[in-house]
Structure 1
Amino acid sequence: MLDEQIKRYLDFARRGIENEEWLYTSLALDMLELYCHENNIDVPEDVAILRKKLYESYLPHGIAFVKSYLENGMYTHAKFELVRILECAEKANEKLPIDVKRIVEDVERKLKRHSEESIIFPEFKRFYSVE
């Protein structure tokens, strides 16, 4: 039987996915895992399922955000959105679609052109799916 705090975190995460509140959902899942770790409780299997749903729900929106930022010259915002996408994929044990690689390369070029700090490609490459 799940403890009440775990139930609250799971409910919050489920509602977050339904309401497309991806950042809060991710935070709730992180807090749940931390709570379980600190209290020597096994992390419920629902967490992996919710992480996958979060990834699937967020990915198309995250990519759209990145493209919008690029179109508006907001390259640093695009970079940070890509980092969020990467973290979401990593926590869900998912591979990024190959089209994300092209977007990363585009952001990289634009950041370099505007002499801003670039993204480290090896961190992203291990998450590309093979298509």
Structure 2
Amino acid sequence: MGRQLATALLRASSLEPRHINISTRRPETLGGLFLDQRWVSAVLYSLLNMCTAQKLGAGKTLRLLNGLFETNTFTYHSLVNSPSASDLNSPDDLFPWMSLVDAQTKDTPLTDLVLRDKGLRDCFSVMYYNVFSNLAEG
């Protein structure tokens, strides 16, 4: 699961593993990991866009995201606004392409979800930390 997230993050950004510095200190000694909810939303929307680019239907995309985060939090309405969600008539329909600029500059259903759901934020933080710790190890 961690390797999948790392691969998705690296594909969705211009980062290369050699540009990432990993601290060897335990997270609890660093005072925690802060990830802005708009940044988290943009990363999650980039995963959604990758699923759309691969022609993965909305139903399979939701199962993939919920499986990745071991939750049932992600729904059509938690990812896209109501008019767009109502356009999804079948689980085989594709999610619309999401603007990553909008994800970081405007309120979206996903930024609201990330803000409200501490468990999701904690899960994302743990996955993020583990992925980059594993990359540092090699």
TM-score, length-normalised on structure 1? Answer: 0.28
| Structure that is richer in helix per residue | 1
TM-score, length-normalised on structure 2? Answer: 0.27
